[in-house]
Amino acid sequence: MTDRVTEHTTIDAPPEVVRAVLLDFPAYPDWAKDLKDAEVVSSSPDGTPLEVRFRAAAMGRSTSYTLRYDLSDPSVVAWVLTEGDVTKKLDGHYALAAAEGGGTEVTYVLEAELKLPLPGFVKNRAQGRIMHAALVDLKERAESQGR
């Protein structure tokens, strides 16, 4: 069964700064604490990352997955899972919009499905850590870059 979460936040940095942080994949381990490695596997001819392999700490073990990005809309950073050792689905996107009075309104959507079922409390804990990195850690990083 696929789980879907949607969260919103406002970041005190312009959309182009937030997007730049989101597209600086090699720097993810510097600010997304559970990510141990992020490697760009393929890029477009202009150097835009298309596919990225991640290694993350998850529930006391290491997990790896590869995401393919669609960056055709400058206000959206979207991805789909192409390969995962414990995930069947890990698709989502960030939608970025200029906030009234400055900053960026961010909507984060993630659809995830694991290959093996997990107890609810374990799933909830993992979801909380993902959401923290996806929004709180992103906010801290983007606001420090936007100053």
CATH number at residue 117: 3.30.530.20
Comparing CA positions, the residue from 35, 77, 85 lying closest to residue 55 is 35
Q: Tens digit of pLDDT for each residue in 21-67?
A: 999 999 999 998 888 999 999 999 999 999 999 998 866 778 899 99
Percent of the chain with pLDDT over 90: 59
Angle at 91 between CA 32 and CA 29, to 5 degrees: 15
Q: What's the mean pLDDT in 103-107?
A: 96
pLDDT at 123: 46
pLDDT at 134: 77
Q: What is the mean pLDDT of the chain?
A: 86
pLDDT at 129: 56
Domain count, the chain: 1
Q: For 18, phi and psi rounded to 5 degrees?
A: -60, -45
Question: The domain containing residue 67 runs over which residues?
Answer: 3-145
Q: What's the mean pLDDT in 87-95?
A: 91
Answer whether residue 119 shows pLDDT above 50. Answer: no
| Cα distance between the two ends of the chain | 42
Confidence category of residue 117, pLDDT binned at 50, 70, 90? low
